[in-house]
């Protein structure tokens, strides 16, 4: 009986899965009408708390990647704080994302691995923390972070940068605009058959669009 009930809940788009799985953190960053406007599978992914040592695994491939000359330079410079931006233009190579709970910050650890045809893959670690003036911050190496605002745009869950900073203890020191890559947008869009697209775009105030990457994933079954 319990198995049938759970099966019914997870496949009924009219039921808000957040109430059944128990993670309200992303939902709380959106207006109710925006949250329910998201596709069912997107709400489900961002409602599941990966606690008790669990890891969510997504597998797929990079389908688009472009770096302008300025984008390439910013990506190389960002290696000083963990290399969070795409370093290579390769496409149709494997990609893997893992999400785990961060007990220390009560946030999430996201690890992204992008393979290369030659050489070691690029591995990016970041920590999403539900804190700061916007309610969500993402940290990379050397305590460098950015505030994020959350939106629903064209049925996609969209994250936009709202300022970069370095955290020193409990103090956030804003980074000057000239040292940052520009406005960053990440979109999580359902594309059917259990697959979703993760896209990253960076637009510099002087150089315009400098980085674009898109990868298609599906959740790996145990």
Domains of the chain (ranges; CATH) run 1-49 (no CATH), 52-219 (2.40.128)
The whole-model pTM stands at 0.88
Calculate the alpha carbon distances from 32 to 18, 24, 28, 89, 166 in Å: 12, 12, 8, 38, 32
Residue ranges of the chain with per-residue pLDDT less than 50: 1-21
Confidence at residue 16, expressed as pLDDT on a 0 to 100 scale: 43
Q: What is the pLDDT of residue 11?
A: 37
What pLDDT is recorded for position 6? 32
Alpha carbons 36 and 117: distance in angstroms, whole number: 40
């Amino acid at each position: 009986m319990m198995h049938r009930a759970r099966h019914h809940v997870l496949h009924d788009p009219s039921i808000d899965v957040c109430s059944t799985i128990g993670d309200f953190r992303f939902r709380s960053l959106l207006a109710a009408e925006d949250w329910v406007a998201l596709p069912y599978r997107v709400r489900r992914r961002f409602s599941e708390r990966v606690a008790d040592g669990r890891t969510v695994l997504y597998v797929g491939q990079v389908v688009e990647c472009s770096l302008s000359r300025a984008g390439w330079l910013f990506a190389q410079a960002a290696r000083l704080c963990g290399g969070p931006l795409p370093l290579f233009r390769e496409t149709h190579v494997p990609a893997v994302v893992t999400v785990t709970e961060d007990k220390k910050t009560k946030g999430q650890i996201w690890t992204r691995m992008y393979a290369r045809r030659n050489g070691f893959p690029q591995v990016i670690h970041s920590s999403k923390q539900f804190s700061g003036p916007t309610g969500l911050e993402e940290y990379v190496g050397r305590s460098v972070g950015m505030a994020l605002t959350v939106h629903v745009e064209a049925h996609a869950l969209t994250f936009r940068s709202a300022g970069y900073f370095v955290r020193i203890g409990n103090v956030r020191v804003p980074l000057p605009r000239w040292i940052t890559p520009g406005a960053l947008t990440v979109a999580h869009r359902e594309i059917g058959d259990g697959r979703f697209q993760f896209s990253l775009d960076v637009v510099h105030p002087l150089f315009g669009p400098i980085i674009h990457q898109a990868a298609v994933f599906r959740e790996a079954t145990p």
